[in-house]
């Protein structure tokens, strides 16, 4: 079996100990668990700020670190994605999360008062451990306070992932982005499903291969339902109803709603993105 380097930590010189016997490497190491301490940490393909960004890890997310060198950590995120993070974005292993951020975006304050200075902004899906509540605010491990009504218990989930995606309307498009400040097409799908309690791989090709079941594509694009996923090569959109879809895209450069037929024609004829490759129903 050929392993996907996006989802398995191996190089010629170093590999995850769990891959011993599956890949050849000069040495194997057990990952050290750390956590993300910034609003969103970008995962790069190479240990360089000039290297392409593949995805992001949100505040409070666990990561496994296999190597640290010259300011960079070779890491695997909680969704399995492998790449390089700036060491400055990492903290010690965190307390087990009790809550996740449920608002699209909120602040961590220095104290339980909206007039006090903020320490960070954090996006929906970020993970925190609540120590105690004081008035309308929750104190979190690591320092700071978050408005309590912007948090949800870790064991509660949204019932409609499409409604979560709709909250991102007009959010700027960002290749590799996965936060309320910038997001890409597959990041929108992955994060929306996560908030609804469903696991989802990161990239659109993974999602097309692994999510739901394939349904036939009618020549007039009829018969679709809310939540159906529409795939092109390298792109994915979510149906809002039988006609309209929502997607993060590089044409409008934001999260945008439009009729599927309009988008399909533009992608096929103008963007040279080809035909719809499949439709998946969850």
Q: For position 145, which CATH number holds?
A: 2.30.30
- Ranges of the chain whose pLDDT falls below 50: none
Predicted pLDDT at 2:
85
- 167 located within any domain: yes
Q: Examine residue 2 and state whether it is found in any structural domain, yes or no.
A: no
At 200, give phi and psi (nearest 5°): -155, 130
pLDDT at 93: 80
SS3 category, 9: coil
Same-domain check for residues 201 and 270: yes
Q: Is residue 85 located within the same domain as residue 117?
A: no
* Assessment of whether the complete model's pTM goes beyond 0.85: yes
- The residues pairing with 280 across neighbouring beta strands, listed in sequence order, are 214, 229
Find the DSSP H helices in the chain: 161-167, 185-195, 204-210, 260-269
pLDDT value for 247? 98
- Please report the pLDDT score of residue 164 as a whole number: 98
Residue 8 resides in a domain? no
What does the pLDDT read at residue 159?
96
Predicted local distance difference test score (pLDDT) of residue 1: 64
Last residue of a domain, one of 91, 113, 137: 91
Query: Do residues 110 and 174 share a domain?
Result: no
- According to the model, what pLDDT value does residue 185 have? 98
Name the domain boundary from 40, 71, 91: 91
Residues 106 and 217 in one domain: no
Which of 248, 137, 272 shows the shortest CA–CA distance to 188? 248
Range of the domain at 116: 99-153
Residue at a domain's end among 64, 91, 118: 91
């Amino acid at each position: 079996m050929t392993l996907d380097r996006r989802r398995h930590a191996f190089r010629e010189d170093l590999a995850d100990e769990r891959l011993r016997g599956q890949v050849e490497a000069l040495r194997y190491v057990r990952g050290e668990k750390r956590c993300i301490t910034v609003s969103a940490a970008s995962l790069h393909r190479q240990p360089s700020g000039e290297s392409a960004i593949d995805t992001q890890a949100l505040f409070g997310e666990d990561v496994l670190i296999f190597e640290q060198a010259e300011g960079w950590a070779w890491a695997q995120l909680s969704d399995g994605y492998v790449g390089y993070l700036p060491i400055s974005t990492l903290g010690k292993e965190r307390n087990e999360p009790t809550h996740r951020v449920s608002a699209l975006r909120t602040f961590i304050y220095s104290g339980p008062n909206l007039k006090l200075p903020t320490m960070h902004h954090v996006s929906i899906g970020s993970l925190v451990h609540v120590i105690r509540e004081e008035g309308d605010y929750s104190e979190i491990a690591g320092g700071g306070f978050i408005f309590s009504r912007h948090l949800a218990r870790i064991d509660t989930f949204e019932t409609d992932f499409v409604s979560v995606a709709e909250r991102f309307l007009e959010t700027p498009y960002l290749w590799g982005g996965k936060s309320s400040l910038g997001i890409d097409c597959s990041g929108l799908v992955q994060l929306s499903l996560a908030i609804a309690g469903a696991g989802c791989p990161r990239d659109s090709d993974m999602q097309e291969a692994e999510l739901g079941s394939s349904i036939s594509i009618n020549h007039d694009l009829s018969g679709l339902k809310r939540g159906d996923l529409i795939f092109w090569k390298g792109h994915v959109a979510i149906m809002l109803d039988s006609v309209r879809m929502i997607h993060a895209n590089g044409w409008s450069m934001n999260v945008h709603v439009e009729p599927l037929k309009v988008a399909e024609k533009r992608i096929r004829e103008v963007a040279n993105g080809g035909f719809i490759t499949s439709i998946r129903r969850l």
